[in-house]
Amino acid sequence: MNSEKKLNIKAVIIGWLVDTVGSFIFGILISVAAGIILASKGLTEEHIAGELTNSRLFVNILLFIGFLFTFLGGYVTAYIAKVDEFKHAFSMGILSFLTGLLFTVGQTPEPIWYFISLFVIPFAVLGGYLRKITKK
């Protein structure tokens, strides 16, 4: 089988880890920082959770960070794969999308979140595209 036809699983997994772990760590750091700010204003733990859950700004920041790491994960995947950048970045995007679905198991998210989560795949592919056009 031609090496260009094979999927580099290692590249996909490493890109997925960049996306998932990066999003998770930065999400926690931003949540802690926001919690400290709200706690300094005298809000209780229950009120802080409610404020963050209902804050469009907070949710949009987390969404932006998630897409940024998905983009970076697509780039890293394409960088490691060295060939078929789109195919590899797309595969990483699919894996990230499926991971996101696993996090919603047992929950009833609003239907808009299913639509928004589909953007994970194009962001991963955009990362792969950046790598493709910048490689020498």
* Per-residue confidence (pLDDT) for residue 59, from 0 to 100: 87
Could you read off the pLDDT of 81-113 as tens digits, one per residue?
A: 999 999 999 999 999 999 988 877 766 666 667
* Per-residue confidence (pLDDT) for residue 69, from 0 to 100: 97
Whether the pLDDT of residue 23 is over 90: the answer is yes
Dihedral of CA 84/87/88/93: which sign? positive
Per-domain residue ranges of the chain? 9-134
* Per-residue confidence (pLDDT) for residue 104, from 0 to 100: 72
Whether the pLDDT of residue 22 is over 50: the answer is yes
CA 106 centroid distance within chain: 20
- Give the pTM: 0.87
Average pLDDT over every residue of 67-78:
98
Q: Are 58 and 52 in contact (CB under 8 A)?
A: yes
Range with the largest mean pLDDT of 9-13, 37-41, 50-54: 9-13
Q: 20-28 long-range CB contacts below 8 Å, 24 or more apart?
A: 20/69, 20/73, 20/96, 20/99, 22/69, 22/72, 22/73, 23/65, 23/66, 23/69, 23/70, 26/65, 26/69, 27/62, 27/65, 27/66
Whether the pLDDT of residue 1 is over 50: the answer is no
Kindly report the number of other CB atoms within 10 A of residue 133's CB atom. Answer: 8
DSSP H or E segment with residue 102: helix 85-103
Q: How confident is the model at residue 53 (pLDDT cuts 50, 70, 90)?
A: confident
